[in-house]
Amino acid sequence: MMGNPGSTPARRLASAASATTWTTTPEAVRLQIRDLVIDTFAVIAAGSVHPSLRPAITRMTEDSGVCTVVGSSRPTTVNSAALANGAATTVLQLQDGHRIARGHPMSHVLPAAFAVAETIGASSAQLLSAIVAGYEVSARVGRALGGMQPLLHDTGTFGTIGAAVATAHLLSEGDVNALAEAIEGSAAVALFPYRDTPLAGATVHHLYVGLGASTGVTAGQAAVFGLTSLSGTLESFFGPRAGAGFDPSLLIDGLTPEDTWSSYECRQAYYKVHPTCAHLNGINDALVEIITQQRVDPDRVERVDVSSYGYALEYNTDKPENDLSARFSIPFAVAIALLTGPLDATSIRDDVLADPRVRALAARIRVKHDPDLDAGYPAGRPAVVTVTMTDGSTFSATAHFPKGDVSNPLTAQERRQKATQLFSHAFEPSAVPGLLAALDGLTTGGSVAEVGRLLRAACKDTIRDGGVIS
């Protein structure tokens, strides 16, 4: 049946999304959404100045509009802004995540929602209501997929549905029919991107989230403006085609009989502290424990043995060609950290990758699958790292739940510190406190337009060494 989803999962999700308002959202959820919004804007800012992205985005956002491209002083159109800001989220691999959904809902939802909110002059409450609605729908779809089909990357897939929901929520003022159409319609047009692209260092990977956000805007607009969808697309097409273990019953998990949220998936979000693929984060944590507790001379390391769960090894490349592929390389991430200290936004660069000391050390790192660790994923990202020195001494550490995970959370101070550091990479440090204050103010009625103005005013229009301003 066209244009009348009935009591499908999409309709029930749409009902819950329709009932979502910022003022009735629980306080703990509001605080989480605030921090996710700030974290994502900071990640976008730091990614926006990377040389692999900036030239393309500069040319692709030349059309004039009212929407902010983070890192640019020139406003552009709604789709161009969603594309550019979405693309910047994954450049440094520091974006948000939802471990059980196995993806990055806020990276898609925020770029779409903020661009639409700027276009229509929405209030902060309208923007944040739409973000909550989009996140909750997106994360439930991701959870229901049970992981991605082989060779599919998660970005640009179920995140597109969240972006469409946020868009339709803003444009229709939460109309349930528009939201149902947006869910089914975006499920029909979401991307199916190639998993191995970033492992090879192909920077078209940056478009995965960007196109997901932009496509979500278009699908959400279309739903509000009258294009109809095929009822059941979400569970009959998108779920089976995208998901490795699709369970349609999980689409409505956490809904009350009255179709409101009985739980909030955003409470399960994680914050990344390491600029690598999330599957490497347990390894990163174990290595940080070693190098912060022991004096490890990298020139005296005989070898490093890394054990991890099987799925993580599908996201490992031994011979990275650039900084993007190095973020998916266990040997190079480990080697760089041993030589330079715990990884931050400026650690992994092309010049560092070419350093003979890094390459020599990476060659002494052995990566293996430990089947005993498989049971720890997706609940965690287990890893064991053992460093053996030339004198025979060893240092070993085990990680289960990465730093920033809901089971090993960052403190409020640590979240703010991450955001401050990332904003300072892209903007003059003097501009950061005012920007953070404006972002904080969104939760209490602050101005969406003012946040956009500050983001544009703070930008730098030049690229500095290493891709990120240091």
Instruction: For the full predicted model, state whether its pTM sits above 0.85.
Output: yes
* Domain that includes residue 298, residue range: 278-399
pLDDT band at 470 (very low <50, low <70, confident <90, very high): very low
Q: Which residues contact 372 (CB under 8 A, 6 or more apart)?
A: none
In a domain, 372, yes or no: yes
In a domain, 120, yes or no: yes
Q: Are residues 114 and 204 in the same domain?
A: yes
In a domain, 36, yes or no: yes
The amino acid sitting at 5 is P
Q: What is the pLDDT of residue 459?
A: 80
pLDDT tens digits for 84-107? Answer: 999 999 999 999 999 999 999 999
Q: Are residues 36 and 170 in the same domain?
A: yes
Higher-confidence position of 461 and 454: 454
pLDDT for residue 465 is more than 50: no
Q: Are residues 216 and 318 in the same domain?
A: no
pLDDT for residue 56 is more than 80: yes
SS (H, E, C) 59-90: HHCCCCCCECCCCCCCCECHHHHHHHHHHHCC
pLDDT tens digits for 251-290? Answer: 999 999 999 999 999 999 999 999 999 999 999 999 999 9
Residue 225's Cβ-side half-sphere holds a number of Cα atoms within 13 Å equal to: 8
Q: Are residues 210 and 316 in the same domain?
A: no
pLDDT tens digits for 109-156? Answer: 999 999 999 999 999 999 999 999 999 999 999 999 999 999 999 999
Average pLDDT over residues 53-59: 91
Q: What is the pLDDT of residue 290?
A: 97
Q: What is the pLDDT of residue 364?
A: 97
Picking from 372, 399, 426, the residue at the C-terminal end of a domain is 399
Task: Report the domain count for the chain.
Answer: 2
Q: Are residues 137 and 251 in the same domain?
A: yes
In a domain, 459, yes or no: no
Neighbours of 365 (CB within 10 A): 22
In a domain, 463, yes or no: no
- In percent, the amount of the chain with pLDDT more than 70 equals 96
Q: Determine the Cα–Cα distance for residues 34 and 309; give it in Å rounded to an integer.
A: 33
pLDDT band at 324 (very low <50, low <70, confident <90, very high): very high
Three-state secondary-structure class, residue 304: strand
Neighbours of 237 (CB within 10 A): 15
What residues are paired with 367 via a beta bridge? Answer: 306
Q: Are residues 48 and 147 in the same domain?
A: yes
Q: Are residues 237 and 327 in the same domain?
A: no
Closest CA to 291 of 389, 222, 200, 194: 389
Average pLDDT over residues 177-186: 98
Average pLDDT over residues 218-231: 98
Quickly list DSSP for 170-203. HHHTS-HHHHHHHHHHHHHH----BTTTGGGT-G
Neighbours of 319 (CB within 10 A): 13
Q: What is the pLDDT of residue 5?
A: 44
Q: Report the mean per-residue pLDDT for the chain.
A: 95
Q: What is the CATH number of the domain that holds 352?
A: 3.30.1330.120
Q: Are residues 99 and 163 in the same domain?
A: yes
Picking from 270, 296, 315, the residue at the C-terminal end of a domain is 270
In a domain, 451, yes or no: no
> For the range 295-298, what are the long-range contacts, defined as Cβ-Cβ under 8 Å and sequence gap of 24 or more?
296/338, 296/387, 296/389, 296/395, 297/389, 298/338, 298/339, 298/357, 298/361
Token readout for 163 is 């972006």
Average pLDDT over residues 419-439: 96
Q: Determine the Cα–Cα distance for residues 423 and 44; give it in Å rounded to an integer.
A: 9
Q: Are residues 201 and 252 in the same domain?
A: yes
In a domain, 416, yes or no: no
- Tokens 């040997």 — which residue? 331
Residues 468 and 345 sit within 8 Å (Cβ to Cβ): yes
Q: Are residues 29 and 138 in the same domain?
A: yes
Picking from 238, 270, 302, the residue at the C-terminal end of a domain is 270
pLDDT band at 7 (very low <50, low <70, confident <90, very high): confident
Q: Determine the Cα–Cα distance for residues 247 and 13; give it in Å rounded to an integer.
A: 15
Q: What is the CATH number of the domain that holds 83?
A: 1.10.4100.10
In a domain, 408, yes or no: no
- β-pairing verdict for 394-399 and 365-369: unpaired
pLDDT for residue 3 is more than 50: no
- Tokens 């709604």 — which residue? 78
Q: What is the pLDDT of residue 239?
A: 98
Q: Determine the Cα–Cα distance for residues 117 and 127; give it in Å rounded to an integer.
A: 6
Q: Are residues 228 and 311 in the same domain?
A: no
Q: Are residues 259 and 359 in the same domain?
A: no
Q: What is the pLDDT of residue 461?
A: 57
pLDDT tens digits for 24-55? Answer: 999 999 999 999 999 999 999 999 999 999 99
Residue 357 dihedral angles phi and psi, to the nearest 5° = -65, -40
pLDDT tens digits for 342-361? Answer: 999 999 999 999 999 999 99
